[in-house]
Structure 1
Amino acid sequence: MEMISVPISIASLAVSVGTFWLVLLRRGRLAMTMPTIVFFGHDIVPKPTPKIFLRTLLYSTAAQGQVVEGMYVKALRNGTERTFSFWGYGETEKLSAGSGLYISRAGLAANHHFVLSVHEDEYRFEPGDYAITVYARVVGRRKPLKLSSISITLNDELAAELRLQRGVLFERNLDGRYEGHARDR
């Protein structure tokens, strides 16, 4: 009987230690789904300021979740990169300035708004291929995490709409590409 109880005890201890690590100690990672919509446009307060908006789900692979201190996006076009550093999230009527957002394993689906600082130089959305990269600063990590990269093509017609202070909404197709169309605010 002793020969059976010792291996069972060792196996039980191993399962307990593994469970303890998975539930309480494992950091996991913060991740996001591919956005269903991406919007290029402008905020109008205090002055017209370029904006990138996207709808996505953030989630944690750890049981305890993660705390996001901040998020930002970088837009790269023809070798020129701009950082949209002011972040807000929530639904259209109830937008919160981004800071201290807890993300659980179940995740949080929300609208994320990224605006250039009003102190930045003038910026215009020009026609071309854009690589939009989403980053998050997570509590306890030294470097920002790259969450996703999105490729979007802005044609001449849609860029003209943006020059008129209108917006362009890109919807993700079933094949994963984004197709844009002009929208009023």
Structure 2
Amino acid sequence: MDYVSIPISIISLAISLGTFWLAFLDRGRLAMTKPTIVFFGYDTVPKPTPKVFLRTLLYSTATRGQVVEGMYAVVRHCNAERVFSFWGYGETEKLSPGSGLHVSRTGLAVNHHFVLSVHEDAYQFEPGNYEIDVIADVVGQTKPVKLSTICLTLNTDHVAALAKHNGVLFERKIDGEYEGHSRDR
């Protein structure tokens, strides 16, 4: 009888320890799907300020989820880099300033707005290739987490629309690349 009960007890203990690890100790990671749309444009309040907007799903691989303290976008063009540090999220009608967001295992799909600080020097969109790194500060982690890098190309028509404070909407195609369309305000 002991030959059967001891292995069953060991297996039972291993399952309990595994469950404890998954439920309470595993911090998992925060992740993001590739955005379906990305927008370059301007916010108008308090003055026209450059903005990057995207729609994506954030999700956590941990059972308990993750808490995002803040997010920002680093936009690179040629050798220049700018941080779009003001973050807001939500749907079309209700936008919340980013100040903490719980992301569960099932995920959260919302619009994310990244605006250049009004205290920054003027920023001009120029033709060429752009890389956007989406970065999150996660509670309990000492270093920010890079969630995604998005590559886009602005042509001269796009830049002309942006110079008039209109926008450019990039839609993800089936091949994963983005195609941009100029949009009026």
RMSD (Å), alpha carbons: 0.5
Alignment-derived partner of residue 118 in structure 2: 118
Q: Describe the SS at the equivalent of 1:160.
A: helix
1:65-144 pair list within 5 angstroms:
65-144=65-144
Amino acid aligned to 2:170: F
Per the alignment, residue 174 of structure 2 pairs with: 174
3-state secondary structure, aligned to 2:141: coil
Report deviation, 1:24.
Answer: 1.2
Give 3-state SS (helix, strand or coil) of 2:4's partner. helix
What is the SS of the residue equivalent to 1:8? Answer: helix
Residue of structure 2 equivalent to 1:30:
30
The whole-number CA distance in structure 1 between the counterparts of 2:57 and 2:11 is 38
Aligned length: 185
Report the CA distance between 1:56 and its aligned residue: 0.1
| TM-superposed deviation, 1:184 | 1.8
Q: Deviations over 1:74-133 (max 9, x none)?
A: 000101000000000001110000011000001100000000000000001111100100
Runs of 4+ with deviation above 6 angstroms? none
The percentage of aligned residue pairs carrying the same residue is: 70
For 1:116, give the aligned amino acid: L
- SS state of the match for residue 119, structure 1? coil
2:10 maps to what in 1? 10
TM-score, scaled relative to structure 1: 0.99
User: CA shift at 1:21, angstroms?
Assistant: 0.2
Tell me the CA shift for residue 158 of structure 1. 0.6
Task: Give matches, 1:52-67, under 5 Å.
Answer: 52-67=52-67
Task: Tell me the distance in 2 between the aligned counterparts of 1:118 and 1:158.
Answer: 23
Q: Distance in 1 between matches of 2:134 and 2:10?
A: 45
Which structure 1 residue ranges, 5 or more long, are not aligned?
none
Measure the CA separation in 1 of the matches of 2:184 and 2:12: 62
Q: Quick one: distance in 2 between partners of 1:60 and 1:13?
A: 27
CA distance in 2 between counterparts of 1:184 and 1:107 reads 32
Unmatched 5+ stretches in structure 2? none
Output the TM-score relative to the length of structure 2.
0.99
